[in-house]
Chain A
């Protein structure tokens, strides 16, 4: 028997072994749900900060790279300036 077949056989057994009892709502369940809904409760939504933080970093990085690319000449001018150092020593040291 191939591993694929073994997996499908195991999955079939597992599907048959699933919990099937208790498919009726437990006592008071619908009352609790209705009360929470009437109170205007909204279930947890994913944290927006968490959701967007990584994407925001990528966007910020892209903007930074684009800025350097567009303004490359301005940046490179500063790098190309020659600096002359003046030697203050007038005579040779003996």
Chain B
């Protein structure tokens, strides 16, 4: 079934009647939405496809709970975000930053962020993404989740609240705490860069 033709309401009804073809169609339809969330919040050493499969199984398992009071895509996003958060929490240990791990590209990105007024090159954007991913790995799961949604995905407090179920004050406190840590990491990296 083509993606444009999919009638989600009818498809959901068929899935509820345990129609395997409908489950396949729904998976194909929702995959771009789910994989985008997975890639934003993927815990270390976890395969994105495995996590995406778990999210779809959870969506199907909880489908009876979907009452239609919010758009289906919003409900799916919430299931995906909470599943990613649960996986992040399951990781008992967070890596510690080792200055020796800083690659040349990452060091150059820090320098460019600090001094350059030019638009970033695709290579710099990629290096920035790798650096930020490694920095985020060192944060607590809830801090990481908030800062990813707020600063990388540019979501509003209301949207984050809807996705995570946390109230806005909690989100603000976590964002403040997480940004403070990120600023500290950056400061350390800059000092390291200027010493070399």
Contacts and interface: CB of A to CB of B under 8 A. Distances in A.
Nearest to B32: A23
Interface string B1-39: 000000000000000001011011101100110011001
Contact of A13 (B21, B114, B124, B154): B124
Interface string B75-88: 00000000100100
A19 B39 contact: yes
Interface stretch (A35-43, A52-60, A72-80, A81-89): A35-43
A8 to B, nearest CB: 7
B113 A25 contact: no
A56 B58 CA distance: 28
B128 A34 contact: no
Interface in B124-174: 124-133, 147, 151-154
A21 B109 CA distance: 23
Contacts of A4: 179, 183
B128 A25 contact: no
Main SS of chain A's interface residues? helix
A41 B56 CA distance: 11
A10 B125 contact: no
B193 interface: no
Given A7-B179, A7-B183, A26-B49, A37 B129 contact: no
B151 A17 contact: no
B113 A9 contact: yes
B27 A10 contact: no
A46 B18 CA distance: 26
Interface residues of B, number: 53
A34 B20 contact: yes
Contact of A14 (B23, B27, B58, B132): B132
A13 B179 contact: no
Contacts of A6: 113-114, 183, 186
Given A37-B57, A38-B18, A46-B86, A10 B31 contact: no
A7 B57 contact: no
A11 B152 contact: yes
B90 A46 contact: yes
A13 B53 contact: no
A61 interface: no
Interface of A: 1, 3-4, 6-11, 13-19, 22-26, 29-38, 41-44, 46
Interface of B: 18, 20-21, 23-25, 27-28, 31-32, 35-36, 39-40, 49, 52-58, 60-61, 83, 86, 90, 109-110, 113-114, 120, 122, 124-133, 147, 151-154, 179, 182-183, 186-187
7 pairs of A and B residues whose beta carbons are closest in the complex: A17-B125, A17-B129, A13-B128, A14-B132, A30-B27, A25-B31, A43-B54
